[in-house]
Amino acid sequence: MDSEVGGAESSNPKKQRKHKGKHDKPKPWDEDPNIDRWKVDKFDPSWNAGGMLEVSSFSTLFPQYREKYLQEVWPMVKTALKEFAVACELNLVEGSMTVSTTRQTKDPYIIVKARDLIKLLSRSVPAPQAIKILNDDMQCDIIKIGNLIRNKERFVKRRERLLGPNLSTLKAIEILTGCYILVQGNTVAAMGSFKGLKQVRRVVEDCIKNVLHPVYHIKILLMKRELAKNPALANENWDRFLPKFKKKNVQQKKVKTKEKKPYTPFPPPQPPSQMDLQLESGEYFLSEKKKSERKWREKMEKQAEKTAEKKKKREAAFVPPKENNATNEVGSSNANENSEVAAMAKSLKRKAKEFRNNQADGDVRAESYIANADQARPKKKKLSSKSD
């Protein structure tokens, strides 16, 4: 049985259990809660008393518009690097900055910090802020965003979205992540802790790629900050507390596709030149005087056409509009109604007149028609004869 088992183990070497060595044994400080494994101890020069054996150097280029500013702040940069025994050089001819170690340099990692310093200076970070990178608890990350999107207009809009109105979005991200952020051209320079830099990179890349708006990231970071205050939720998954934002499908403009013309190996015909057109019309053989007369005549014809058009437009304002059928019907119906009203009024007047006449006939008195005897009739004057 033992031989069979040994043969099976030898035939399947992948299934063999790896034996722990003497260095793989559990240490007493592995589970010590008082030890902070993320703490970065400050460098002590006694750890590397012999110094550096080889010279390490880094160089980076800077844009021309930064030349004047770098000349002004270079003494400050030189003084800051001198404390760590790092040499620096500003070359204005080549447009480059160089940092290198010396024999007095003790910290082997300080040259990497110096390299990050000149990179930040070339990306328009102010010198007082960039010098803070030399501290052990400060890290930096330069995020390249220029190659994440091809369309330049969209890139500019999304970069402005990252900044926000009056830089409000950028300031909110800085407060929540505890990092310094500077958006310059095609890069985003960030300075802070490792955790904050990781959050900043996610926010920037999601914004430029149009995955998630920075405002939603700010809401998530605010909720994470509140959840971190609760010690009961320290070892639990926070996904059930965080909001989930769905991307809305916005209708985009349809791209007009041009119809492909059938391929022909022959080039298109050459357009006629001005001389060819003059030869066809016969203008080429005319004298200068006739040419000028012809041009003047064409000019006057065009002027007359434009004058006629303008006159027509002015007269169009005084032409009465055509009446529609609906208005004609309304007018005819109104006329019929008016005629009916007039006929009714006429008949009423006639009836009223007849009624008054009948009433007058009923009130007739005989005395009015009998001559009064008492009254003397007027005597008629006798006409005197001509003979008298």
pLDDT range class, residue 329, cuts 50, 70, 90: low
Structure tokens at 339: 């005629």
Q: How far apart are CA 142 and CA 147, in angstroms?
A: 14
- In order, the DSSP letters of 295-356 are HHHHHHHHHHHHHHHHHHHHHHTTSPPPPPHHHHHHHHHHHHHHHHHHHHHHHHHHHHHHHH
Q: Quick one: pLDDT at residue 16?
A: 52
Q: Identify the bridge partners of residue 86 per DSSP, sorted by sequence position.
A: 101
Residue with tokens 């149009």: 210
pLDDT at 366 > cutoff 50:
no
pLDDT at 96 > cutoff 80:
yes
CA-wise closest residue to 199 among 172, 163, 234: 172
- Give the mean pLDDT of 72-82: 94
Q: How many residues does the chain have?
A: 388
| Three-class secondary structure of residue 192 per DSSP | strand
Q: How far apart are CA 73 and CA 197, in angstroms?
A: 26
Q: ∠ CA(86), CA(89), CA(91), 5° rounding?
A: 165
Q: Quick one: pLDDT at residue 229?
A: 86
Q: Identify the bridge partners of residue 142 per DSSP, sorted by sequence position.
A: 189
Query: Which of 7-11, 123-127, 350-354 is predicted with the least confidence, judged by mean pLDDT?
Result: 7-11
Mean pLDDT value across the chain: 82
**Beta carbons of 112 and 92 less than 8 angstroms apart:** no
- In order, the DSSP letters of 68-86 are HHHHHHHHHHHHHHHTTTE
Q: Tally Cβ neighbours within 10 Å of residue 352.
A: 10
CA-wise closest residue to 140 among 121, 168, 161, 162: 121
Please give the C-alpha separations between residue 60 and each of 138, 306, 343, in angstroms, as whole numbers. 21, 67, 108
pLDDT range class, residue 2, cuts 50, 70, 90: very low
**Beta carbons of 91 and 99 less than 8 angstroms apart:** no
Q: How far apart are CA 134 and CA 126, in angstroms?
A: 14
**Beta carbons of 192 and 139 less than 8 angstroms apart:** yes
Q: How far apart are CA 236 and CA 314, in angstroms?
A: 82
344 or 174: whose pLDDT is higher?
A: 174
- In order, the DSSP letters of 247-273 are PP-PPPPPPPPPPPPPP-SSPPPPPP-
Q: Quick one: pLDDT at residue 379?
A: 52
Structure tokens at 117: 């310093």
Structure confidence by residue, pLDDT tens digits, 34-69? 887 777 788 888 888 888 888 999 999 999 999 999
Structure tokens at 96: 């480059």
CA-wise closest residue to 207 among 242, 180, 183: 183
H or E element, residue 357: helix 325-362
- Give the mean pLDDT of 278-286: 85
Q: Quick one: pLDDT at residue 32?
A: 78
17 or 317: whose pLDDT is higher?
A: 317
Structure confidence by residue, pLDDT tens digits, 288-325? 888 888 889 999 999 999 999 999 888 888 888 776 66
Structure confidence by residue, pLDDT tens digits, 223-248? 888 888 888 887 778 787 777 877 66
Structure confidence by residue, pLDDT tens digits, 165-223? 999 999 999 999 999 999 998 999 999 999 999 999 999 999 999 888 899 999 999 98
| Three-class secondary structure of residue 144 per DSSP | strand
Burial of 286 (0-12, 13-18, 19+ CB in 10 A): middle
pLDDT at 86 > cutoff 60:
yes
First and final CA of the chain: distance in angstroms? 200
Share of residues in the chain with pLDDT > 90 (%): 41
Q: How far apart are CA 231 and CA 229, in angstroms?
A: 6
Structure tokens at 246: 């769905």
- Give the mean pLDDT of 23-44: 77
pLDDT range class, residue 4, cuts 50, 70, 90: very low
Query: Which of 11-25, 193-207, 345-359 is predicted with the least confidence, judged by mean pLDDT?
Result: 11-25
